[in-house]
Chain A
């Protein structure tokens, strides 16, 4: 597990505010190559804000975001995506009136060269998407939509895959399947950063974790350590 400590994403003292509301307060975080890192915390703890800021959606008040050694803090979203970070948005974020095929192609916006090769791999991962190729995304089940969203994120050949609350609104069986896929993807070489309220499932498959509360990282460590931590158990694992 994560023996090679090559740093992929490094966030240092990142602060973000919406108007007068401080959404992130000097949060620091790292993702190394080959790792699954999970962000746990309640609704509004700043997990989604952190992911969106990495993608350049929100402007940081202070702090830096380094990706493979490059400062990407103030870069526009499209440049950041093109450089190798992709996201599976909260509530899946597929384009409901567009076909499965079109949804996947949109993921390859910056990487048309490898589109065919990536598509083949995505369809190997998610054979259901090949069957549903010409169906519009809105007609898929929740689990299938999540597969579509994941497949779309993989179409841009990312090095870092971010997932924002991937288990939200999915049945327990599908959630288990989803986390299996996440682990498999990680074994294929994708580094993964995910935010989750389903803390137990997420920590069981992750290498490391960060606990966030009201915009701050209050706790961090290996997944095993967090699973045993008294405070984590009480607040997020139901005692």
Chain B
């Protein structure tokens, strides 16, 4: 029972990160019409920035968090004109596949930079104080770390805040309107291009928060992490149904919990394999995802 509880908490923490990533990914897909595969890579690169700032400022946590968030927003916004250029050349009939190829290229560049240039290609480890490795709660042999608790709390607050924005605020309402009927949204007077840029900025902000949470939860990062996370986010988004925000919420949480349970009850490294076998089965049975595509 204790083990179950501990795995449930770490699963929820991981799951809320997947939810945030899938939602940021879906937001750009819906509002800006791009498949931003490199989004998780940007998040991992922001973890590197966070780590670097911690190192040079002698563990100044506030500065590190700020740097990670600002860097993620910056990176998301500076890459935006590339996609916008592609979309403009295609005019009305937007070819979403081309944005995927471009994003794939971006993701490879980011991975290569991390594996060749940053920390001489070695994995980075966050300092003890930051990662909150010390046990917060202990039941017998099972411990829940400070990092996990913090990730869980902030992750859930961020998910609630973000869904509040999407479903209760004017900005989110406009995002969903563009997602549903882009042409009508334009006729109604919603500034579609400007909203597209906002979606990048908000996804970037979210990415920065995710970078901070992920570094707390994992305590380390390496060049390959972006690829791994990106595949899972894509899997979550596809299984839920591309562009389905609420579906992403359910599937993200489910994947986090499922992974944590597998890690708790099965030997070692099977969690990834199980995640992808599950995805394969679901997509074969329901090609439009569990909750239906919205793109």
Contacts and interface: CB of A to CB of B under 8 A. Distances in A.
A106 B188 contact: yes
The dominant DSSP class at the B interface is helix
B193 to A, nearest CB: 8
A85 B188 CA distance: 10
Contact of B180 (A76, A97, A112, A156): A97
B174 to A, nearest CB: 7
A109 B174 contact: yes
A235 B216 CA distance: 74
B86 to A, nearest CB: 20
Given A93-B181, A96-B180, A97-B180, A102 B187 contact: no
B190 A106 contact: yes
A109 B172 CA distance: 12
Interface string A74-112: 001110111000110100011111100010011101101
A57 interface: yes
A218 B277 CA distance: 65
A152 interface: yes
A82 B189 contact: yes
B94 to A, nearest CB: 16
Interface residues of B, number: 18
B133 interface: no
Given A78-B191, A105-B173, 19 more contacts: A52-B187, A78-B186, A81-B187, A86-B189, A89-B184, A95-B176, A95-B177, A95-B180, A98-B176, A102-B173, A105-B170, A106-B173, A106-B188, A106-B190, A107-B188, A109-B190, A112-B170, A152-B188, A156-B189
9 shortest A-B CB distances, which residue pairs? A81-B189, A93-B184, A78-B191, A78-B189, A95-B180, A109-B189, A89-B187, A95-B177, A77-B186
Interface of A: 52, 55, 57, 76-78, 80-82, 86-87, 89, 93-98, 102, 105-107, 109-110, 112, 152, 156
Interface of B: 170, 173-174, 176-177, 180-181, 183-192, 194
